[in-house]
Amino acid sequence: MEKTFEHIQDTDRIWVYQANRMLSEDETQLIQISGEEFVSGWAAHGKPLRAQVIVFKNLFVIVMVDEAQAKASGCSIDKSVNWISALGRDLHIDFLDRMQIGWQDESGAVQLTPMAEFELLAAKGQIEPDTLVFNNLVFSGKELKNSWLVPANESWHNRFFTQTA
């Protein structure tokens, strides 16, 4: 997909957090630094996790863990959610808002649209089934590289194009 993801292994566990608005360059840098600090001490049952945080397109925070080295446990996953939630509170950003859809317009620019508006744009034909959308439900490095940015009709977003009889 992107050169940014070349080092990600197919088996890496992935969590994608999408901001509810575009991030400034200063916020992006702050999130990257905070993410590096977080993963440097992140562990599962006392075993350090080999992990990384990437801020992508000033909108997405991607947390990945090399599960071949050590698997993230329920408690360690909770710690990552607590980290992203606290970061969001500090920056006044909601990283857990699932009602916003990230997509690419015809020029390749990333757009962020409330779900209800996305549905209206689809109904009007302003967003097509082949519009590229970010499917933030990806779970692995392989899915991130191959199934994260996909045509809307190849993801859960297809429901906005299903014709009713």
DSSP string, 47-83: EEP-EEEEEETTTEEEEEE-TTT-PPPHHHHHHHHHH
Contact call for residues 9 and 66 (beta carbons, < 8 A): yes
Q: What is the model's pLDDT at position 163?
A: 58
CA–CA separation, 109 and 115 (whole Å): 18
C-alpha to C-alpha distances, 127 to 20, 62, 83, 148, nearest whole angstrom: 20, 26, 34, 18
**95: three-class secondary structure by DSSP:** coil
Pick the closest to residue 127 from 142, 116, 138 (CA basis). 116
Q: Where in the chain is the domain with CATH 3.30.300?
A: 3-91
Q: What is the model's pLDDT at position 165?
A: 38
Q: What is the model's pLDDT at position 2?
A: 54
DSSP 106-146: TTS-EEEEEHHHHHHHHHTTSS-TTSEEE-TT--BHHHHHH
Q: What is the model's pLDDT at position 7?
A: 81
Strands 132-134, 13-18: pairing is unpaired
Under DSSP, the state recorded for 105 is -
**Domain 3-91 maps to which CATH number in 3.30.70, 3.30.300, 2.60.40, 2.160.10?**
3.30.300
| Average pLDDT along the chain, 165 residues, taken 10 residues at a time | 72 96 96 95 88 94 91 90 96 94 94 94 92 94 93 91 60
CA–CA separation, 103 and 111 (whole Å): 5
Q: What is the model's pLDDT at position 8?
A: 87
Q: How buried is residue 112: exposed, middle or buried, by Cβ count under 10 Å (0-12/13-18/19+)? A: middle
Pick the closest to residue 16 from 44, 48, 51, 53 (CA basis). 53
